[in-house]
Amino acid sequence: MPSQPRPQSQWLRSFILFSVLACASLAALGFLGAFIVRRVSRSLQSPGDGPVATDVRPNVALPAVTAGWDNVTANLLSAFDSVDVIALGEGLGRKMDSELRLRLIRHPDFPFRAHLIVVEFGNSLYQSTLDKYVYGDDVPMEALENVWWHDSPVYAEFFAAVREVNRKLPPDRRVRVVAGDVPIDWDKVKTKADLVPFLLRRGFPVSLSRVAVPRGEKALVIYTSHYLKRPVFPLEAASEQPMADVPADAPLPTTAPPMFKALQVAGPGRVFVVETVAGLNLFEKTIQFGELPALVPLTGIHSAVGSGLGDEADACVYFGNTQEANATVPPDAATWHGTALGAELGRRQKIMESAQSN
């Protein structure tokens, strides 16, 4: 006759089974709760508004005012100790902005601070051509002319400077320049209607399909200032939501096309936005500058004219209010006038002006 299980053993087995089931239920509830919270937070986010998050400012320690080219350059580069991305604004074709970025990339510490430079003034359709050029390969000028879309010589000078810096570096230290403008094939753009789909892809800077700044990499991002304003740019850059991607050879849709995520960092607090200003001294009630340019951290500083600059950037490089500080570098007439390239750039400019006038 089989022996009957002891009541104590039955109780122990029941207790163990109950404990396992309870733990599994609690774990399931935890996962379900987390899922619901994420879904609710996403539902509260309006399409196109970007990620819902606090604009956390980077913890970058700068002097109250840094004066002179050498000191400004050194202190800007030191910000890479605390952030992944320095987003540097510019005025199109402005001489002082060109001088600043040339001094940054030519500084001996730059290759040890960042390996990537993302620029607005490069057509991403020709990224492979740009790679070959900045890494030192021989590239015909007619191929290079497809890369940069603006005819001010300061942009060609920038790419040439990176090429020269890379020639002195070992392969693992070479600086890569990422062309951050949309991939416009101008051979296919004949009218305003042909251009509009490309312009729509500029809603988020660095609108690329295949080229990305990996998480944790250090990058200098150079764009016209209105693209880089806080909080939009840092939040989008740090978003966990990858933007839609399509094959590079896919036809452009006629409606708003997808954007391409090509910049991702650990969070908005890892993005340091630096505005550049030439003109009236926005800080005249609080700061009187001696030597220029000057680097000014904007935390807690209010401009004399109430520009709200501190709401849109973390620091400002002020060039002064002289004719030289405001000067832009125009196209070289001897290079462009009467040439096939000059005529082509004129054609493009007319189409762009037509598209942007509506």
Contacts 24+ apart (CB under 8 A), 45-50: 50/232, 50/235, 50/236, 50/239
Average pLDDT score over residue span 278-297: 84
Residue 21 lies in a domain: no
Q: 176 and 133 in contact (C-beta within 8 Å)?
A: no
Average pLDDT score over residue span 247-258: 47
How confident is residue 233, by pLDDT bands cut at 50, 70 and 90? confident
Nearest to 222 by CA among 155, 282, 172, 160: 155
Q: 91 and 225 in contact (C-beta within 8 Å)?
A: yes
What letter would DSSP give residue 269? G
Query: Does pLDDT of 112 surpass 60?
Result: yes
Residue 289 lies in a domain: yes
Query: Does pLDDT of 235 surpass 90?
Result: no
Residue 212 lies in a domain: yes
Least reliable range by pLDDT among 25-39, 113-127, 219-233, 260-274: 25-39
Residue 269 lies in a domain: yes
Average pLDDT score over residue span 120-130: 88
More confident residue, 293 or 193: 293
Instruction: For residues 348 and 272, give the distance between their C-alpha atoms in angstroms, rounded to a whole number.
Output: 34
Residue 252 lies in a domain: yes
Least reliable range by pLDDT among 129-138, 237-246, 263-272, 321-330: 237-246
Q: 109 and 117 in contact (C-beta within 8 Å)?
A: no
Cα–chain center distance at 269: 14
Average pLDDT score over residue span 53-78: 90
Q: 212 and 116 in contact (C-beta within 8 Å)?
A: no
Q: Which two tokens stand for residue 131?
A: 């790679």
Which pLDDT value is given to residue 8?
54
Residue 49 lies in a domain: no
Query: Does pLDDT of 160 surpass 70?
Result: yes
Residue 220 lies in a domain: yes
Q: 96 and 281 in contact (C-beta within 8 Å)?
A: no
Residue 25 lies in a domain: no
Number of domains in the chain: 1
Inter-axis angle of helices 153-167 and 127-134, to 10 degrees? Answer: 50
Which pLDDT value is given to residue 215?
73
Least reliable range by pLDDT among 3-7, 33-37, 90-94, 206-210: 33-37
Q: Which two tokens stand for residue 204?
A: 């988020």
How confident is residue 170, by pLDDT bands cut at 50, 70 and 90? very high
Which pLDDT value is given to residue 46?
36
Query: Does pLDDT of 87 surpass 60?
Result: yes
pLDDT digits (tens, 9 = 90+) for 213-228: 677 789 999 999 888 9
Q: Over pLDDT 70: what percentage of the chain?
A: 69
Query: Does pLDDT of 153 surpass 70?
Result: yes
Query: Does pLDDT of 124 surpass 70?
Result: yes
More confident residue, 340 or 43: 340
How confident is residue 52, by pLDDT bands cut at 50, 70 and 90? very low
pTM above 0.75, yes or no: yes
Which pLDDT value is given to residue 260?
54
More confident residue, 124 or 208: 124
Instruction: For residues 349 and 354, give the distance between their C-alpha atoms in angstroms, rounded to a whole number.
Output: 8
Which pLDDT value is given to residue 114?
94
Letter for the amino acid at 276?
Answer: T
Task: Provide the domain limits for residue 222.
Answer: 66-348
More confident residue, 43 or 69: 69
More confident residue, 42 or 25: 25
Which pLDDT value is given to residue 129?
94
* Location of structure tokens 């991002």: 221
Q: What is the mean pLDDT of the chain?
A: 77
Query: Does pLDDT of 314 surpass 90?
Result: yes
Average pLDDT score over residue span 239-258: 50
pLDDT digits (tens, 9 = 90+) for 175-203: 999 888 877 888 888 888 888 777 766 65
Q: Which two tokens stand for residue 251?
A: 């036809």
